[in-house]
Chain A
Amino acid sequence: MERTERPRQASIEQLLAAKEIVVACGSGGVGKTTTAAALAAMAAARHGGKVLVLTVDPARRLADALGVQALGNDARRVPAAAFADAGAPARGELWAAMLDTKQSWDDLVREHAPDRRTARRILDNKLYENIAGRFVQSHEYIAMERLYDLHNEGTYDLIVVDTPPTRNALDFLEAPERMAEFFSSKFLRVLTAPARSRVISIASRPFFTVADRVLGSQFLEDIAEFFSLFQTMAPGFVERARAVSRLLRDHRTTYVVVSTLEAAPLHEAEVFVDAITAKGFHLGAVVLNRVLPPYLLDERAGHAAGVLADDPSSAAAALANADGSGDEAQVARVLTEVAESFLRFQVVAQREAEQRSELSVATDVVVAVPYFETDICDLTGLLRLGEQIWT
């Protein structure tokens, strides 16, 4: 790939040395969790200090490797021996935690409810049960909220956080603001107004008339009751949401966009890159996973493959003469297959190179991780991935 001549000093290594929070984002299925874990493992191994990786939904074998298979929000340390076994004694400590959405929500309610009785009523509300996993992008919000909490504890030098798969790439960046907006919404005031005053509100009358018919008045009462309970937490919640929002914009926080070069994830990554930049967040790097190896771009090999594919018989004859053992027709077939396979891969590799250079306009650090033959399921694999993108 063509590179501009100016010295490129920026690297993942420097980025991780300079920041306190790294948010790995991108669409589902691009290796986001694995990349986040690899970044954290490398930082612990090379830079030292206490490094935490907060994962959302790790593959089981990866979770086992990190020792976070047990549900719950408690961080666990990856044993130092694991690094030694992987051939990379760590200078620092690697800790891992998994996000438990339900547990985190419950904690948040207990913290912000005005009293224990109200907290109990919220937690027991049947709508709460249903929404703990979905309310106002609750999954996205709670991930950022947990991040804030962990950062505030002051226990870790670096926190790498994996983000939940979102329907919309921007959901979690905006989740704290949405949460604050929710509590100041005029709809919330209308819905939680005492039933008597509803009758006289001209603005909301059509809604209640229609909602009564469609949803039934009982369901509407349930919703109103739940919202009323929830509203009691407004002061603490709003303040917290603003603090979370500030942390996401802080200069100590950086974003690493993870993607593959498949059409849909790449499109989403581009949207992400644009949004992060436009909204004034710090875009640290783009990590591209499962990229075809650079040797596929070799022009001379492309030429040789063309020769073999066009006239495999001559080549086979020459080889058979040299070797004397082979079946000439079979050798010709093998040469054809190998040459055509190379040319097919080259088409894709060329497309990928083009896509990478387009992305490098957005940030200095665009790193590519080649296809690994095997899935990454232990610390050794994570460190191997990390090595690829470190400098």
Chain B
Amino acid sequence: MSARWASAPRNPVGDLLDRKLLLVTGKGGVGKTTVAASLALLASQRGLRTLACEVDAKGDLAAVFETGPTSFAEREVQPRLWAMTMDTEASLKEYLALQLHLPVAARIGPLARMFDFVATAAPGVREILTIGKLAYEVRQGRYDLVVVDGAATGHVVGQLAAPQAINELVQVGLIREQTRWMLDILSDPGQTGMVIVATPDEMPVNETMELAARLRSETTVDLAAVVVNRVLPELFGRGEEEVFERLAAADQLPALNKAAGDDVGPIVDAARLAVTLRRTRAGHLERLRAGVDAGVPLLYVPYLFLRSHGLRATHQVSEALAAELGY
């Protein structure tokens, strides 16, 4: 590919996959699930036993791995890579079975439904069942890395704040004691890191900067990296755009048409589109770099010109991330 990727100065970030829990978030439509899946795939290919967990049961994770529906019980979808979908009712059942030593086969269905009803109003109950399951897997150590396709940027702070909220609202009880070790895991940058996915567009960049600030002020979770997805290539090298404009000038077009054997109008328009798209997005990239802490690496994933989404795209994003991480 003749395209060049412009790289921003950045720190080496080989330690991203050394963490135990990576929470991936981003505004809707930026490719959050693909990036989470790609990080998980990359980790598994590097020999780590990896669990990928989808928090919103939309089936997007199954789609990017091109596998059948995922469920609460994890399933190996690639070598060393397991996938699961969060289900708070199942999480509650597992919790009750583990904590209260209820036999797994016990009829806790009605009980779980009752809890579910309470959770419609009681703050943090659903969130704690999600965060709790993830933290539990980290603590159990059955996996080297847990990658979470998490809630969208607008919801994630509320989710992370759940252990703290429960801690404040619930004065006694089993769950209060348990929020403590969850908070320990979430607050340890050696174990837990947030990854925000953005595209170089206005709203995703704004939300990324806002979330970075909120993470700092409202949570104890460390921002591990920002992945900038769909970065368009710089079409022309130095001096080449002038050459292009000369070739594409109205009086030169007939010659160009002749050389190509057909009407090149759309080709010229497409080149201008590529240049314009790249240029308007460069401003958002600059804002993003200035808007997050200099110590937080920005990882660039190129725009993929693919005929389909799915596993092929997941592999390509994974390769791009590997290159950015210096593997």
| A residues with CB within 8 A of B | 27-30, 57, 59-61, 126-127, 130-131, 134-136, 165, 167-168, 182, 185, 187-188, 190-191, 203-204, 206-207, 210-219, 222-223, 226-227, 230, 260, 262-265, 267-268, 293, 295-296, 298, 300-301, 303-305, 307-308, 314-316, 318-319, 322-323, 325-327, 330-331, 333-342, 344-345, 347-348, 350-351, 371, 373-375
In the bound complex, how far is the Cα of B155 from the Cα of A207, in angstroms? Answer: 29
B256 touches A126 (CB 8 A): no
B247 touches A188 (CB 8 A): no
Q: Given the known A-B contacts A216-B170, A295-B266, A301-B267, are A182 and B27 also in contact in the complex, defined by CB atoms under 8 Å?
A: no
In the bound complex, how far is the Cα of B59 from the Cα of A207, in angstroms? Answer: 31
Identity of the chain A residue whose Cβ is nearest the Cβ of B241 in the assembled complex: A334
**CB-contacts of B169-208 with A (<8 A):** 169-176, 201-204, 206
Pick the contact of A210: B111, B158, B258, B273 (CB < 8 A): B111
A267 touches B263 (CB 8 A): no
Pick the contact of B172: A29, A216, A268 (CB < 8 A): A216
Interface flags, B254-278, vs A, CB<8A=1, else 0: 0111111111111111110110110
Identity of the chain B residue whose Cβ is nearest the Cβ of A260 in the assembled complex: B29
In the bound complex, how far is the Cα of B236 from the Cα of A334, in angstroms? Answer: 7
- By a CB distance below 8 angstroms, the chain B residues around A210 are 96, 100, 111
| B residues with CB within 8 A of A | 1-3, 27-34, 56, 58-60, 63-64, 96, 99-100, 110-111, 113-115, 117-118, 120-124, 151-152, 154-155, 158, 165, 169-176, 201-204, 206, 235-237, 239-240, 243-244, 246-247, 252, 255-271, 273-274, 276-277, 280, 305-310
Pick the contact of A29: B114, B203, B308 (CB < 8 A): B203
- By a CB distance below 8 angstroms, the chain B residues around A136 are 120-121
Identity of the chain A residue whose Cβ is nearest the Cβ of B172 in the assembled complex: A216
B123 touches A265 (CB 8 A): no
Q: Given the known A-B contacts A301-B262, A318-B255, are A373 and B277 also in contact in the complex, defined by CB atoms under 8 Å?
A: yes
A223 touches B121 (CB 8 A): yes
- Please give 10 more A-B residue pairs, beta carbons under 8 A apart, in addition to A211-B114, A301-B266: A28-B152, A165-B154, A204-B114, A264-B32, A319-B255, A322-B252, A341-B271, A347-B306, A375-B202, A375-B280
In the bound complex, how far is the Cα of B26 from the Cα of A28, in angstroms? Answer: 10
Q: Given the known A-B contacts A187-B113, A262-B29, are A305 and B267 also in contact in the complex, defined by CB atoms under 8 Å?
A: yes
* 10 tightest A-B CB contacts, nearest first: A28-B28, A216-B173, A29-B29, A263-B309, A301-B266, A130-B123, A344-B305, A29-B28, A304-B262, A315-B259
Number of A-B residue pairs at CB separation under 8 A: 253
Pick the contact of B206: A59, A315, A327 (CB < 8 A): A59
Q: Tell me which of A57, A217, A298 has the highest count of chain B C-beta atoms within 10 A of its own C-beta.
A: A298
- By a CB distance below 8 angstroms, the chain A residues around B305 are 344-345, 347-348
- By a CB distance below 8 angstroms, the chain A residues around B31 are 262, 264
- By a CB distance below 8 angstroms, the chain A residues around B124 are 130
| Subset of 18 A-B contacts with CB under 8 Å | A29-B203, A29-B204, A185-B117, A187-B113, A187-B118, A203-B110, A214-B174, A216-B173, A260-B29, A263-B60, A267-B59, A293-B269, A318-B259, A319-B252, A331-B247, A340-B2, A341-B271, A351-B307
Identity of the chain B residue whose Cβ is nearest the Cβ of A297 in the assembled complex: B266
- By a CB distance below 8 angstroms, the chain A residues around B152 are 28, 165
Q: Given the known A-B contacts A307-B260, A322-B255, are A28 and B29 also in contact in the complex, defined by CB atoms under 8 Å?
A: yes
A337 touches B29 (CB 8 A): no
Q: Tell me which of B155, B243, B307 has the highest count of chain A C-beta atoms within 10 A of its own C-beta.
A: B243
B244 touches A326 (CB 8 A): no
In the bound complex, how far is the Cα of B52 from the Cα of A206, in angstroms? Answer: 34
A351 touches B308 (CB 8 A): yes
Pick the contact of B276: A30, A185, A213, A373 (CB < 8 A): A373
A338 touches B268 (CB 8 A): yes
In the bound complex, how far is the Cα of B266 from the Cα of A337, in angstroms? Answer: 14
A337 touches B115 (CB 8 A): no
B30 touches A307 (CB 8 A): no
A264 touches B121 (CB 8 A): no
- By a CB distance below 8 angstroms, the chain B residues around A57 are 154
A187 touches B114 (CB 8 A): yes
Closest Cβ–Cβ distance, residue B145 to chain A (whole Å): 23
Pick the contact of A308: B58, B155, B260, B265 (CB < 8 A): B260
Q: Given the known A-B contacts A214-B99, A326-B246, are A131 and B123 also in contact in the complex, defined by CB atoms under 8 Å?
A: yes
A337 touches B268 (CB 8 A): no
Identity of the chain A residue whose Cβ is nearest the Cβ of B106 in the assembled complex: A206
In the bound complex, how far is the Cα of B124 from the Cα of A211, in angstroms? Answer: 15
B176 touches A216 (CB 8 A): yes
A126 touches B169 (CB 8 A): yes
Identity of the chain B residue whose Cβ is nearest the Cβ of A61 in the assembled complex: B202
B261 touches A304 (CB 8 A): yes
- By a CB distance below 8 angstroms, the chain B residues around A295 are 265-266, 269-270
In the bound complex, how far is the Cα of B156 from the Cα of A28, in angstroms? Answer: 14
B173 touches A219 (CB 8 A): yes
- By a CB distance below 8 angstroms, the chain B residues around A268 are 58
A307 touches B267 (CB 8 A): no
- By a CB distance below 8 angstroms, the chain B residues around A187 are 113-114, 117-118
- By a CB distance below 8 angstroms, the chain A residues around B96 are 210, 214
Pick the contact of B3: A60, A223, A337, A351 (CB < 8 A): A337
In the bound complex, how far is the Cα of B23 from the Cα of A57, in angstroms? Answer: 24
Q: Tell me which of B59, B202, B206, B260 has the highest count of chain A C-beta atoms within 10 A of its own C-beta.
A: B260
A298 touches B121 (CB 8 A): no
B274 touches A341 (CB 8 A): yes
- By a CB distance below 8 angstroms, the chain B residues around A264 are 28-29, 31-33, 58, 60
Closest Cβ–Cβ distance, residue A266 to chain B (whole Å): 9
Q: Given the known A-B contacts A29-B29, A216-B170, are A182 and B122 also in contact in the complex, defined by CB atoms under 8 Å?
A: no
Identity of the chain A residue whose Cβ is nearest the Cβ of B276 in the assembled complex: A373
B270 touches A334 (CB 8 A): no
- By a CB distance below 8 angstroms, the chain B residues around A314 are 259
Closest Cβ–Cβ distance, residue A86 to chain B (whole Å): 20
Identity of the chain A residue whose Cβ is nearest the Cβ of B204 in the assembled complex: A29
In the bound complex, how far is the Cα of B87 from the Cα of A309, in angstroms? Answer: 51
Closest Cβ–Cβ distance, residue B103 to chain A (whole Å): 13
Pick the contact of B243: A59, A61, A131, A330 (CB < 8 A): A330
B255 touches A29 (CB 8 A): no
Identity of the chain B residue whose Cβ is nearest the Cβ of A203 in the assembled complex: B110
B266 touches A27 (CB 8 A): no
In the bound complex, how far is the Cα of B240 from the Cα of A298, in angstroms? Answer: 25
